[in-house]
Structure 1
Amino acid sequence: MGVAVGAVMAAALLAATFSTRWVRSMPGPAPLGLVAAFRIARGNRAFFALLSAFVVQALGVAVTRWCWPPPGSSPSKGRRPSPALRWRG
């Protein structure tokens, strides 16, 4: 199954590469600086909502994995969660 999925992905990538090979391109405008990019992103509410959701989800996953390892494994050596968040396994 993995070989079939890999073959389909390779075919799609090759088709995209060869179909856009002869498209004329022109140089674009100068890239934005970091401050300008943050100004533009701050004005986009949908982007801000998605970014906030991602940050909260990433923090939740990191804290969960750090405090509560999967069943059948021991907590990592050298990292001790606070007593309130200790893994009870």
Structure 2
Amino acid sequence: MTTLSFPEILLKVRAIVLEQFCLEAEELDNEADFIRDLGADSLDVVELVMTLEEKFGVQITEENTVKIHTVYEAAEIVAQILKLKPDNE
């Protein structure tokens, strides 16, 4: 499996958020809060986490889920999980 760099992860997370929340690229700042700035609700965030898990092949714990408020935070958590994931999985 090819290791993704953080910028690649960030771009992929950003693309997922754009699609999930039906936004145009210029509407999304990587530091925008999903709930406060983008009008998402907690169910939207749960659905986003499920999509991230599927697209990146990771499992995001509830502990990490509550830390995800922005594109950047989501990318950081995915990157952290991928770094800890054994290559043979």
- TM-score, length of structure 2 as denominator length: 0.26
- Give the structure, 1 or 2, with the largest relative contact order (CA under 8 Å, sep 6 or more): 2
Larger radius of gyration: 1
